Structure 1
């Protein structure tokens, strides 16, 4: 009986080993899946079909401009949201993870709830081109995870701090499903803290442009009523970046204005 019991135990061990080893080898040898960025963009759009909310706007026909605000949310972001709501204007906010984490008012959630677009501007605003790949990934993923937890949406675009990008940054944004949104009109509001100067520069926007501003500066917020009124009189519609393109931008690709190819 002892011999038969030992033989049975050896048989069970052999069958178990034969059943698990090939699977382990197969899993270890399987290469990571490669997803075409355009396919990923379509998947993201299907996953969140109602965000940002679709509006009857056609930027191939209408005069559109995308106002974008970096580095927040900050102490003036709430006032900016009030101004945009009062004029039925939509914008895109490229937020810093550390600012979202420090915000006691839940402004990231308010940005999403009021129909604006929210994008990834890294966690702590370093030049991503100066970082090793694992740190680039951490800057983006940590911010994405926090914003997704607080708002329920996954960001589809990012803006590299200082506009600094290269092939490594592009590859990482592609992996994370984020398009790189740059700009065509810089108001230089970070340098010139005069609301009249900022408004005048924004007033020069042409149809299809992406305008760069920062919602952490009081003078920028003070410039917003004038620039909204002036551009509205010229027939402009204020849209999110996704509305400007009429489609989810392709992950990894750089965009600077409406004429950037994205097909």
Structure 2
């Protein structure tokens, strides 16, 4: 049986001067010939960093929506939710020529109003606390190894200075490949697992016929 996984990364692209975390992650993905999925924050998409996004696309990665400013969207009004989603979507469309296929709500903060407004599948994922610098690369690697199964969506971050995740990913790709896993982007993960992600009020962490439903 073929086994598929997806590495997904939030909070790019990098905007701090001199920070290359997202590009460094792309170096690792290119080294191992692995595509991934990047959920971008819209107001971080600038003329200065569009080249790293274009590089991700060339490597087979998909570019997805993580809101415009990264707020807790369940606390927002209808108009604010629409603006957060649509402004990010338009920035992605302008740069890539197509709309995002998936949405990851910041902080995994969701509401029925969000589901009613945003008409693409919501993605969560299995995380390893990699947004918190107290968790080192060893912890992140071990947690990812525990969570690996057919259809797993890893929820990771390429925010500025997040080098422990770079170290963990560089270790885990060859190890999971040895175990027979194939890394794919999100659209291919659902396709290869034979799962239609477009189910109302779903919040996917694993591309299987079981899913989180609010």
- Answer whether TM exceeds 0.5 for this pair: yes
In 1: Cα distance, 2:200 partner to 2:36 partner: 21
RMSD: 1.8
* 1:155 paired residue number: 100
Between structures 1 and 2, the one with greater helix share: 1
**Greater gyration radius:** 1
State the TM-score, normalizing by the size of structure 1: 0.70
In 2: Cα distance, 1:237 partner to 1:71 partner: 24
Shift of 1:259: 1.4
* 1:194 paired residue number: 136
Q: Are 1:73 and 1:103, in contact at CA under 8 Å, matched by a contact in 2?
A: no
Distance 1:261 1:196, change over 3 A: closer
In 1: Cα distance, 2:106 partner to 2:58 partner: 25
* 2:17 paired residue number: none
Distance 1:239 1:127, change over 3 A: same
Between structures 1 and 2, the one with greater strand share: 2
Distance 1:260 1:121, change over 3 A: farther
User: Is 2:198 the partner of 1:250?
Assistant: yes
Gaps of 5+ in 2: 15-19
User: Is 2:208 the partner of 1:259?
Assistant: yes
**Which of these residues, 75, 81, 86, is aligned with residue 130 of structure 1?**
75
Q: Are 1:97 and 1:143, in contact at CA under 8 Å, matched by a contact in 2?
A: yes
Distance 1:63 1:212, change over 3 A: same
Equivalent residue of 1:77, what SS?
Answer: helix
In 2: Cα distance, 1:102 partner to 1:149 partner: 12
**Which of these residues, 173, 181, 184, is aligned with residue 228 of structure 1?**
173
Q: Are 2:41 and 2:68, in contact at CA under 8 Å, matched by a contact in 1?
A: yes
Distance 1:81 1:126, change over 3 A: same
**Which of these residues, 66, 70, 73, is aligned with residue 13 of structure 2?**
73
In 2: Cα distance, 1:102 partner to 1:93 partner: 18
**Cα deviation 1:29-51 (Å, max 9, x = unaligned):** xxxxxxxxxxxxxxxxxxxxxxx
State the TM-score, normalizing by the size of structure 2: 0.86
Q: Are 1:242 and 1:248, in contact at CA under 8 Å, matched by a contact in 2?
A: no
Q: Are 2:22 and 2:158, in contact at CA under 8 Å, matched by a contact in 1?
A: yes
Note the 1:1-263 alignment, pairs <5 A. Answer: 61-74=1-14, 75-101=20-46, 103-174=48-119, 178-183=120-125, 185-191=126-132, 192-204=134-146, 205-216=148-159, 217-246=162-191, 249-250=197-198, 253-254=201-202, 255-260=204-209
**Cα deviation 1:178-224 (Å, max 9, x = unaligned):** 211111x2111112341121111112211211111101112111221
Q: How many residues align?
A: 198
Q: Are 2:71 and 2:106, in contact at CA under 8 Å, matched by a contact in 1?
A: yes
